[in-house]
Amino acid sequence: MFFQIKEIILWPKNKSFAPRRLILELGKVNIISGTSRTGKSAIIPIIDYCLGSENCSIPVKTIRDACDWFGILVSTSDGEILFARKEPGSQKSTGDMFILEGISIEIPNQIPDKNATVKLVKQHLDQLAGLTNLDFDLEDVSSGFLSRPSFRDFGAFVFQPQNIIANPDVLFYKADTYEHREKLKTIFPYVLQAITPELLALQHELSQLKKELRRKQNEFETVRQVSDKWLSEIKAQVSQAKELGLIDRTISLSESKESLVRVLSSIILAGNKPIQITEETISNAIEELNQLKKEEAEISIQLSIFRKRFSEMSELKENVIRYRDALSIQRDRLKISEWLQSIYDENHECPICGQSMGNVSDHLSHLVKSLNDIEQSAGGFNVIPPAFDREMERVRSDIRIHTEKLNGIRLRREALERSSSEIQKRQFDTLMVERFIGNLEKSLEIYQQIGTDSELNTEVSELKKKVESIEEQINQNQIKTKTDRALATVNANAEKLLPFLDVERPNDPISLKINDLTIKVKSVEREDYLWEIGSGSNWLSYHIAVILGLQTLFLSFDRNPVPNFIILDQPSQVYFPKKLAIKDSEIEVDYSATLKDEDIIAVHKVFETLSKVVNSSDERLQILVLDHASENTWGDVEGINLVEEWRDGKKLVPLSWL
């Protein structure tokens, strides 16, 4: 995305004055030079405010008292856009904004009234950047850190304010706050194009398919459990039909559920078939009843064993928790002995009782030893091993399975006993058989309504295939490989620039760490984080090298959502004498005149490096530097445009406005 700043505009509250306009060149290193308290450090907050920041960080009093609207004119591949936002007054910010779009925009002398809101501007910027509407919240955890990427997030790669540019602890803009830090870590693979919008869409599709698969699998399990219950009833009905002589062929209860259903359905279709009750059918029923009683006894024994084991494991778990709590109480009571021993002095008095501590050394040692013994004992009870929980869950599952089996057997046994009892009372009359067939017909109707698991099984199989197919397309290892490759490119870009900057270890390789949002510098002996390396000149050099390395990578992408401009606020601050940097005086000082020769050379290196990168970008990168250093420090560097020099009373806000 081509997105560079053409102008920065301030509209005064006094309508008799014309707007204050700072005109920048596209594809160049632009410099605003000046002394302290001239308004240089307000430039980044002004631009950020016009691009939809939540709060207004523009300095109060002079600037906000004099200005009514703040604006920037940006140049894009489709033309120019003016973004203006009203000064918030006593509020932290305001949503009132004004937008103009066209091939070429003429800056109005006054902003008539708002014609947009911050929300609309953010949406417009997201569309300009071509950002996806999908978020990173694949599991619906509703975390703000996993929200969709926003144009606002990319401020981390374009702004380097005064408190960040040489900061050893923070490498990116606003990464010193937890919210922005976590969001930046989330979107980093997206910015590096390891995760594309198409890939993110696949991830969302995969997440939905997995949820659907889990739902279908739960349904399948439910149907299977219902089918198991119905299978027990079907077997009982088959046994009863055999005893009544309604089945005239040999059939085994071990046959499939579908086969048994077909047998029972054939009884209904047969209509008024003569009843054939024989000694054999009754004997078979009695034999089956005895077999069911035997199975019931065996499963009851197994279930008792599992229940006893589960009870013992539950009791053991409770005892561990109680014992651990008891140890904690003893440990807390004995903890004071460590403190007393640490302050022990035989010439001092006890801070608790006031008695001499001369003869208590042995007692204290005994108490401390007891404390150590308890802490060692408690160490083994801090965490119940995962294997214990897995075994407990397995026992619980065995109890459930055997309970279901026992209920199924009892169902069949009760049906057989009830049938035999009714047969003895009714002497196998036709009315009883007709009622059995009627009940059987109703049971089969209900069974058909419940359905079989074959359709669900097919759906589950198809969903599994889709999930496997998308997982192959996403391939988390490939995403990591792409991320590592992009970071390696950033590291290489930065390493090429370090020898041209004022850094102590110009030839040591560096690595940008997403999880920590900082860099590591590798030497022969060890790797050092940025905050472990001393000197402001080192911090400044690594900041500039990494930010330029990232922008160089972004320019190599065909579709780049990050604005291609960088704003650096006072990169030369690390070379200024401290007493001058904090001097509270109205006297305007040319800081560059106070620098030593080596400091001037170091500052010169910074501007040369910036110019080198911009000139090699074919005008696709723009840099704005806000600095104390005057033209005699960087004036001979090729491709630098001096926007304005704020000295001798000239400032961001004209004195006439005040």
Domain extents for the chain?
302-423
Give the pLDDT band (50/70/90) at residue 595.
low
Structural fold of domain 302-423: Helix Hairpins (1.10.287)
* Whole-number average pLDDT of the chain: 80
pTM: 0.65
Q: Look at residue 540 in the predicted model and tell me its pLDDT.
A: 94
What is the band of 456 on the pLDDT scale with cuts at 50, 70, 90?
low
Amino acid identity at 33: S
> Using alpha carbons only, what angle is made at residue 588 by residues 582 and 594, rounded to the nearest 5 degrees?
70
Which range has the worst mean pLDDT, 30-44, 582-596, 615-629?
A: 582-596
The arithmetic mean of pLDDT across residues 229-244, rounded, is 69
Q: What's the rounded Cα separation, in Å, for the pair 262 and 452?
A: 14
- The candidate with the shortest Cα–Cα distance to 510, out of 473, 550, 554, is 550
Q: Could you tell me which residues come within 8 angstroms of residue 466 by beta carbon, excluding any fewer than 6 positions away?
A: 209
Element (H or E) spanning 420, and its range? helix 386-426
Reported as a single tens digit per residue, the pLDDT across 302-337 is: 888 888 888 888 888 788 778 777 777 776 666 655
Both tokens assigned to 20: 């204050």
Could you tell me where the DSSP H helices lie in 196-251? 197-243
The pair phi, psi for residue 518, each rounded to 5°, is -155, -175
pLDDT for residue 344: 56
Average pLDDT over residues 107-125: 93
SS3 640: strand
The answer to whether the beta carbons of residues 631 and 618 sit under 8 Å apart is no
Distance of CA 214 to the CA centre of its chain: 22
Q: Is the pLDDT of residue 583 over 50?
A: no
109: pLDDT strictly greater than 80: yes
What are the DSSP calls for 353-386, one per residue? T--B-TT-HHHHHHHHHHHHHHHHHHHTTSS--H
* Residue type at 76 in one-letter notation: T
Q: How far is 627 from 645, CA to CA, in rounded Å?
A: 10
Rounded distance between C-alpha atoms, residue 567 and residue 176, angstroms: 18
